[in-house]
Amino acid sequence: MNRPAAGEMIVMSRLLVLQSKRILFASMERRLHGQPRSPRQGALQRLRAEMRSAHDRYLDAVLKWGSPDSSQFWLVAYGDMIEGAEVLALKLRETLDELPPADRVEVRGDIAQLKEIIERWRSMMRPTMSGEVA
């Protein structure tokens, strides 16, 4: 019998925690749907924060302990790269007005190239994502 490696077990445990938080959140959200503001709304917001934290810990575990042979690893890795590139593109766009006109043209070109890179990364993810869903 093959036993999963320690890294796989860590990733699996983080995924199970995340799934549990999602189930708890969905259940509580369903119960509170349509109800006027109740004290449970605070608990729902705390659970949402716990769910986000569990998601972040899962992603970190996949990148640190996951096997590069798995599609899960590549989905998380490309997702992380895309998110970082999108943040960078946004920061560049936000600073355009502060730049001299000549620099704006150059930075706009950089932003366009960054968008192309992001789209290429997304297109590389699509086959992996469809394989994961299937």
CA 10 to chain CA centroid, Å, is 18
Rounded Cα gap, residues 10 and 6, in angstroms:
6
The residues spanned by each domain of the chain are 1-66, 68-134
The string of pLDDT tens digits covering residues 42-91 is: 888 999 999 999 999 999 999 999 989 888 898 999 899 999 999 999 99
Q: How confident is the model at residue 133 (pLDDT cuts 50, 70, 90)?
A: very low
pTM, two decimals, is 0.73
Rounded Cα gap, residues 45 and 98, in angstroms:
38
Rounded Cα gap, residues 129 and 51, in angstroms:
22
Question: For residue 119, what are its two tokens?
Answer: 């789209």
Rounded Cα gap, residues 47 and 3, in angstroms:
33
